[in-house]
A and B are shown apart, each in its own frame.
Chain A
Amino acid sequence: MFPLFFSGRGRKVAIFLKLALTLLGLGLAGNLAGAALSCALRRLSSLSRWPSVAAGAACLGYLAAGLAVLLGEGTHVVVLPMFHPLGGFSLSLDPLAAFFLCVIGLVGVAASLFGQGYLRHLKGRDLGSVGAWYNLFLLSMALVVTGANAVTFLFFWEGMALSSYFLVVSKKEDPAARQAGFVYLVMAHLGTACLVVLFLWPAAQIHSLAFARMAILWPGLPAGEKTILFLLALVGFGSKAGMVPLHVWLPRAHPAAPSQVSALMSGVMLKVAIYGLLRVVFTFLGVGPVWWGLLVLGLGVVSALLGVLYALMEHDLKRLLAYHSVENIGIILMGVGVALLARSLHLPALLMIGLLAALYHILNHAVFKGLLFLGSGSVAQATGTGDMEKMGGLIHRMPWTAGGFLVGAAAISALPPLNGFASEWLTFQALFGLGYHPVAWWSGLAGTLGVAALALTGGLAAACFIKAYGVTFLALPRSRAAEKAAEVPRSMNLGAGILAASCFVLGLFPSRVAAVLRPAVAALGGPHPPPPGSFFTLASGMGGASLSPLLLAAILVVLLLATRFWSGRMPERLSATWGCGGTLGATSEYNATSFAKPFRIAFAFLFRPVREINSGYEVSPFFRHSLHYRGEIRFLFEEYLYEPVRSFLLELADRFRQVQSGNLRTYLAYLFLTLLALLAVNNKWL
């Protein structure tokens, strides 16, 4: 695209780095200003747009800084003053960090733009604190990905959890939000605990918390230790990324936050966790045994399938989207898994394709999931509910929102020529590549089974978005609120519009995107030569397969126009929908529950649905005066893993609490016995 950047090294790179750092600094300052502003403006709701403006400006800075580094290819380290024996905060902007900074920036700009209009109409939330935490959230994410040592990383990692926690519970009178926030915070903290061990334990041997030193010295650690570190990274980052079975917080927390925050949490924060995983596993740990890759691939498959299946059963729009995040994290992990396997098996071309697939899907998911969450926010604002069963027909009342959501739905369903297709195509290529390279029968089988799982996931995701879109936007409105809904302000649609446009751009120019991603792939140890493909096409590493969405789009457009022209415009007569002779109302429509029912039956082995029908009748069961139906599914991990552990621990705690019995003499006896025991040990009796 810009050959200039690839040819001229040296001075130009330096200029770009300086530019990048300046922009990053401006971005950070913007966030801080936003936070300060919103604290200062707590009472003045008419000015509540300014924190969002500051955040948007900051995100532009992030985006520009990230792009500058990706195009200029360089790394720069900044050390911030902090007097502490653990060392100060230090930041480094290498291509990998820059890529993630781009993701943060891109979605952040859109979300902030959306937030300006959205926040003003938010009810039951304290706007000042939402604005402040929103800015701090963006700030921490940017600093997590640019953090160059463990202290910086962990500090802002926890800061990211804390600020997003406050955003999740910002609807402070809602008990569900509070519960969600709690679960989120605890899961995040458990993950952080793993990360603390991950970073600090080896530091005892390598005597450094700097990432640069880790990258040099970790590969020399004993294999057993590296395995533990790998597992710690997987659990620590996986719990934040929403990897099954550590995903339980995600469908609770994401819907509770304001929608532009949900967009950031789902679209960006989960990716920050993936960033950590990539950073640690690829740049620190060195080449690992084959089963690492298999494990990641397996977890990816399970996450993708369970995520999409639970999404199908969900009738709350934002919860549905949250489950889809689990699914997409699974798809990303498939790419990562293939890359890991390829690294262990010494297949550089496949390594590159796997990494490229993962990074590309990270970017794409951020964009389309952000778009979908923003759309759901618009819908929620217009109808006052997130329950799909109370929506319908919104395409007539909110055409722009409906259009944006359709783009997102098509993209997440991997329909060509949108961006979701490009990255899923790459993931397919990576998986096929694993199947093709004759290392061993099991690696091949793993790859092709991944293909099948990805195919099933894709099909189910499409079904789920047919449901989501059809029930929310099409047919007749199912409630008064949906009847009265009106289009949201322009700034909100503009935010969504940026992301919708990105869906097209990222989908139509995959080879350009791949070229920009190249430094990031190289930073992860992928081979240095640029990915094959010409201007139009993205080629797989395996064989001659290549993808040219632009050409495809051209064919499609030509065909569409030709068909349109050919079929012409016949006189059209409007009439009622055929209702077998009766009139159809909203109650006779297919709704989300009925749409999902075949899936519930087909996957009953997983959902184990519970159905309860209570009908009230007086004379005969044929003349009912009331009918109560309740159908729900049971959640595997909640029921068999989390709930038993939770109740066991609390039971144990409850038993133990009896030691504080209230009796003074008992207390003195504790003291006495402690003393006697210590004396006995000192006498070598014990």
Chain B
Amino acid sequence: MSFLAGLLLLPLLTAGLLYVVPDHRWVGGIAAGGSLATLAAGLAVVVRVFGGGPWRAGFFYVDALGAFMVGCIVGVAALANLYSHGYFHRSLGDGSLSLQRFRGYHLWFQVFVASMLLVVTVANLGVMWAAMEATTLASAFLVGFSGSQGALEASWKYIVICTVGITLALFGVILTYYASFHLRGPGVPSLDWLTLRDEAGELNPGLLRLGFIFILVGFGTKVGLAPMHTWLPDAHSQAPSPVSGLLSGVLLPTALYGVLRFHLLLVKDLGPAYSSHLLLLFGLVSMGVAVPFILLQGELKRLLAYSSLEHMGVVTFAVGLGTRLAFYGAALQLLAHALAKSLLFFCAGNIMEKYGTQKLPKIAGLVGTLPWTGPIFLLMVLAVAGMPPFGLFLSELTILRAGFAGGAAMVTVIFLFLLAAVFAGLAFYAGRVALGKAGSNVPRGEPVRWFPYLSLAPLLALLFLGLGIPGPLTAGLSQVAAVLGGVTP
């Protein structure tokens, strides 16, 4: 209990410290320290759970899936936090960003991380719902941080659409609760995950089915499943790049985590047919909706956002396939997505800093002007499009293998076709942006000098995921797949 609570408290404490800190110049240091401490604590949780099985501690319950999410969240959060310093370096320097506001940024940042951690560690699905709503509220300020009209518009859409979605999801939670209530009578009904999971087989199917519709539409909004995805490109494109990375890399998967918990209940109660088919459908629709926007796109971060939409579609599809291999692929995809996409958004931050715009037609010759970011960007875009030697190639191949093995050949062929279409769009823009001739007003050099060192960690990790996944990690991912397969240890 205490350790898990500590994991949550660390970012909150950091936020509190930031709030009371007398000298605003310490903000950066405190934030970075807090994030690194959270990273360490999070990794400790991951090691503990992967090594010793699910961890039940009072209010909290962390199984392999939860620990996996914790690992992703703390990892990407630490990277994003460190990158924030580089990202805001210039605006802090020239006074366009006050230290006061910088403090506000970090404060919300920590609250945001804490709320996401709460989502994936808490045992009670009702609280999980509340935490999910809290992630929206905390990140709304981060999305609108720049204060521009675009940012305002994006954050308003973000907050309204996601709040509506989450509100609908609550209805699903209530129905689930009612199902438990109906089973057990008043007094002992529960939203506790373990209790629900154990009694899942006996819950009323009609209720769960109706509830899942609301959960899927509700949390699905937050995942960015089409056609509820509409906030996603706006928010990702207008948020500061570190926040975009965080949103794309871990917030969407965190929301998906919410869907998956309920999906597991349904699978146990109703068999795989119902919710799995819905997930397959929404996965494919999300990928399909992303395609035209990736093929024709005018803005850098919107392009990346649609790619995230597509990735969420891939993962949803994989979960919908419902086999262990597919779950493994989904987990690998989530991990690689978190690394690659956050790195890409950081690159996008550098690019926007360099070119002063995110309009794709105005960006060219990255490889020449940004000697490190440019090549990394090109490679990473191709990586998220599914090129080896990076992890996403293997994860997508695994999912495809599972798709064909699961007998869903036609659906898998559609899936493959959509992947290829997305690939075409991403490859086109990657080439156009990275190659070509930059304007003479763009000097050569990296805006964030230590970015190469920061990017090395996710880059190498991705490479390892593609070339050969280390044994312990394979074991961990298999555990995640086992949880998704409904295996109770």
A–B interface present (Cβ within 8 A) = yes
Is there an interface contact between B435 and A178, defined as CB atoms closer than 8 Å? Answer: yes
Is there an interface contact between B393 and A86, defined as CB atoms closer than 8 Å? Answer: no
Q: Which one, A85, A185, A652, A670, contacts B325 given CB within 8 A?
A: A85
Say if the beta carbon of A595 comes within 8 Å of chain B: no
Is there an interface contact between B389 and A201, defined as CB atoms closer than 8 Å? Answer: no
Is there an interface contact between A154 and B295, defined as CB atoms closer than 8 Å? Answer: no
- Interfacial residues of chain A within 117-139, with CB under 8 A of chain B in the complex: 126, 129
- Interfacial residues of chain B within 307-365, with CB under 8 A of chain A in the complex: 325, 328, 365
Q: Mark B413-430, 1 if CB is under 8 A from A, else 0.
A: 100110110011001100
Say if the beta carbon of B296 comes within 8 Å of chain A: yes
Say if the beta carbon of A173 comes within 8 Å of chain B: yes
Q: Mark A637-649, 1 if CB is under 8 A from B, else 0.
A: 0000000000001
Contact residue range for chain A? 35 or more
Is there an interface contact between B469 and A83, defined as CB atoms closer than 8 Å? Answer: yes
Give chain B nearest CB distance to A663 CB in angstroms.
9
Say if the beta carbon of B439 comes within 8 Å of chain A: no
Give chain A nearest CB distance to B233 CB in angstroms.
7
Say if the beta carbon of B21 comes within 8 Å of chain A: no
- Interfacial residues of chain B within 222-258, with CB under 8 A of chain A in the complex: 227-228, 230-231, 233
Q: Give A209's nearest chain B residue, CB to CB.
A: B401
Q: Given A653-B296, A664-B161, A667-B157, is A86 in contact with B398 using a C-beta cutoff of 8 Å?
A: yes
Which of A11-19, A192-200, A462-470, A529-537 forms contacts with chain B? A192-200
Say if the beta carbon of A563 comes within 8 Å of chain B: no
Is there an interface contact between A186 and B161, defined as CB atoms closer than 8 Å? Answer: no
Q: Give B227's nearest chain A residue, CB to CB.
A: A670
CA distance A506 to B165 in the complex (A): 71
Most chain B CB neighbours (cut-off 10 Å) among A129, A181, A653, A682: A653
Is there an interface contact between A83 and B468, defined as CB atoms closer than 8 Å? Answer: yes
Q: Give B165's nearest chain A residue, CB to CB.
A: A671
Say if the beta carbon of B293 comes within 8 Å of chain A: yes
Q: Mark B285-298, 1 if CB is under 8 A from A, else 0.
A: 00001011101100
Please name all residues of chain A whose beta carbon is closer than 8 Å to the beta carbon of B393 when the two chains form the complex: 155, 158
Say if the beta carbon of A25 comes within 8 Å of chain B: no
Q: Which one, B160, B233, B417, B468, contacts A88 given CB within 8 A?
A: B468
Is there an interface contact between B419 and A83, defined as CB atoms closer than 8 Å? Answer: no
Is there an interface contact between A675 and B407, defined as CB atoms closer than 8 Å? Answer: no
Is there an interface contact between A82 and B293, defined as CB atoms closer than 8 Å? Answer: no
Say if the beta carbon of A544 comes within 8 Å of chain B: no
Say if the beta carbon of B436 comes within 8 Å of chain A: yes
Please name all residues of chain A whose beta carbon is closer than 8 Å to the beta carbon of B397 when the two chains form the complex: 86, 151, 154, 196, 200
Is there an interface contact between B435 and A173, defined as CB atoms closer than 8 Å? Answer: yes
Say if the beta carbon of B88 comes within 8 Å of chain A: no
CA distance A82 to B216 in the complex (A): 36
Q: How many A-B residue pairs have CB under 8 A?
A: 168
Say if the beta carbon of B394 comes within 8 Å of chain A: yes
Q: Give A670's nearest chain B residue, CB to CB.
A: B227
Which of A279-287, A432-440, A492-500, A654-662 forms contacts with chain B? A654-662
Please name all residues of chain B whose beta carbon is closer than 8 Å to the beta carbon of A654 when the two chains form the complex: 292, 296
Q: Mark A668-686, 1 if CB is under 8 A from B, else 0.
A: 1011001100110010000
Q: Given A172-B367, A182-B428, A675-B214, is A682 in contact with B209 using a C-beta cutoff of 8 Å?
A: yes
Is there an interface contact between B405 and A158, defined as CB atoms closer than 8 Å? Answer: no
CA distance A162 to B379 in the complex (A): 9
Q: Mark A42-61, 1 if CB is under 8 A from B, else 0.
A: 00000000000000000000
Say if the beta carbon of A471 comes within 8 Å of chain B: no
Q: Which one, A81, A186, A209, contacts B423 given CB within 8 A?
A: A186
Is there an interface contact between A178 and B213, defined as CB atoms closer than 8 Å? Answer: no
Say if the beta carbon of B33 comes within 8 Å of chain A: no
Is there an interface contact between A201 and B404, defined as CB atoms closer than 8 Å? Answer: yes
Give chain A nearest CB distance to B375 CB in angstroms.
7
CA distance A186 to B420 in the complex (A): 8
- Interfacial residues of chain B within 147-171, with CB under 8 A of chain A in the complex: 156-157, 160-161, 164-165, 168
Is there an interface contact between A181 and B365, defined as CB atoms closer than 8 Å? Answer: no
CA distance A193 to B418 in the complex (A): 10
Q: Mark B194-224, 1 if CB is under 8 A from A, else 0.
A: 0000000000000001100110110001000
CA distance A635 to B289 in the complex (A): 33
Say if the beta carbon of A650 comes within 8 Å of chain B: yes
Please name all residues of chain B whose beta carbon is closer than 8 Å to the beta carbon of A155 when the two chains form the complex: 388-389, 393-394
Q: Given A81-B468, A82-B468, A190-B420, is A678 in contact with B213 using a C-beta cutoff of 8 Å?
A: yes
Number of chain B residues whose Cβ lies closer than 8 Å to a Cβ of chain A: 71
CA distance A197 to B213 in the complex (A): 33
Q: Mark A560-604, 1 if CB is under 8 A from B, else 0.
A: 000000000000000000000000000000000000000000000
Please name all residues of chain B whose beta carbon is closer than 8 Å to the beta carbon of A204 when the two chains form the complex: 404-407, 409
Is there an interface contact between A675 and B168, defined as CB atoms closer than 8 Å? Answer: yes
Please name all residues of chain B whose beta carbon is closer than 8 Å to the beta carbon of A181 when the two chains form the complex: 431, 435
Give chain B nearest CB distance to A85 CB in angstroms.
5
Say if the beta carbon of B117 comes within 8 Å of chain A: no
Is there an interface contact between B388 and A162, defined as CB atoms closer than 8 Å? Answer: yes
Please name all residues of chain B whose beta carbon is closer than 8 Å to the beta carbon of A652 when the two chains form the complex: 292
Q: Given A155-B388, A674-B217, is A84 in contact with B431 using a C-beta cutoff of 8 Å?
A: no
Q: Given A209-B401, A678-B213, is A173 in contact with B436 using a C-beta cutoff of 8 Å?
A: yes
Please name all residues of chain B whose beta carbon is closer than 8 Å to the beta carbon of A185 when the two chains form the complex: 427, 431
CA distance A670 to B398 in the complex (A): 32
Give chain A nearest CB distance to B183 CB in angstroms.
21
Is there an interface contact between A172 and B213, defined as CB atoms closer than 8 Å? Answer: no
Is there an interface contact between A162 and B435, defined as CB atoms closer than 8 Å? Answer: no
Is there an interface contact between B368 and A172, defined as CB atoms closer than 8 Å? Answer: yes
Q: Given A193-B420, A196-B400, is A664 in contact with B160 using a C-beta cutoff of 8 Å?
A: yes
Please name all residues of chain B whose beta carbon is closer than 8 Å to the beta carbon of A674 when the two chains form the complex: 217, 227-228
Q: Given A84-B469, A653-B292, A670-B227, is A169 in contact with B161 using a C-beta cutoff of 8 Å?
A: no
Is there an interface contact between A671 and B217, defined as CB atoms closer than 8 Å? Answer: yes
Q: Which one, A182, A209, A671, A682, contacts B227 given CB within 8 A?
A: A671
Is there an interface contact between A169 and B435, defined as CB atoms closer than 8 Å? Answer: yes
Say if the beta carbon of A76 comes within 8 Å of chain B: no
Say if the beta carbon of A621 comes within 8 Å of chain B: no
Is there an interface contact between B394 and A86, defined as CB atoms closer than 8 Å? Answer: yes
Say if the beta carbon of A175 comes within 8 Å of chain B: yes
Say if the beta carbon of B22 comes within 8 Å of chain A: no
Please name all residues of chain A whose beta carbon is closer than 8 Å to the beta carbon of B417 when the two chains form the complex: 193
CA distance A667 to B157 in the complex (A): 9
Q: Given A82-B468, A172-B436, is A653 in contact with B295 using a C-beta cutoff of 8 Å?
A: yes
Please name all residues of chain A whose beta carbon is closer than 8 Å to the beta carbon of B473 when the two chains form the complex: 83
Q: Which one, B367, B400, B432, contacts A200 given CB within 8 A?
A: B400
Q: Given A201-B409, A671-B228, is A84 in contact with B161 using a C-beta cutoff of 8 Å?
A: no
Q: Given A84-B394, A85-B328, A162-B387, is A650 in contact with B213 using a C-beta cutoff of 8 Å?
A: no
Please name all residues of chain A whose beta carbon is closer than 8 Å to the beta carbon of B420 when the two chains form the complex: 189-190, 193
Q: Give A129's nearest chain B residue, CB to CB.
A: B375
Say if the beta carbon of A542 comes within 8 Å of chain B: no
Is there an interface contact between A172 and B435, defined as CB atoms closer than 8 Å? Answer: yes
Is there an interface contact between A667 and B375, defined as CB atoms closer than 8 Å? Answer: no
Say if the beta carbon of B483 comes within 8 Å of chain A: no
Is there an interface contact between B230 and A667, defined as CB atoms closer than 8 Å? Answer: yes
Please name all residues of chain A whose beta carbon is closer than 8 Å to the beta carbon of B409 when the two chains form the complex: 201, 204
Task: Give 18 A-B pairs besides A84-B468, A659-B227, A668-B164 with Cβ atoms closer than 8 angstroms.
Answer: A82-B468, A88-B468, A129-B375, A155-B388, A156-B388, A158-B388, A173-B365, A182-B428, A186-B427, A186-B428, A197-B404, A197-B413, A653-B293, A653-B296, A657-B292, A659-B289, A671-B227, A678-B278
Q: Provide 14 A-B residue pairs closer than 8 Å at the C-beta atoms, listed in order of the A residue.
A: A85-B478, A89-B468, A154-B397, A155-B394, A169-B431, A172-B367, A182-B432, A186-B424, A189-B423, A196-B397, A204-B407, A650-B295, A653-B291, A675-B213
Listed in ascending order, the chain A residues whose CB lies under 8 Å from chain B are: 80-86, 88-89, 126, 129, 151, 154-156, 158-159, 161-162, 169, 172-173, 175, 177-178, 181-182, 185-186, 189-190, 193, 196-197, 200-201, 203-204, 207, 209, 649-650, 652-654, 656-657, 659-660, 664, 666-668, 670-671, 674-675, 678-679, 682
Give the 8 A-B CB pairs with smallest separation, nearest first: A653-B292, A667-B230, A82-B468, A83-B474, A670-B227, A656-B292, A204-B405, A172-B435
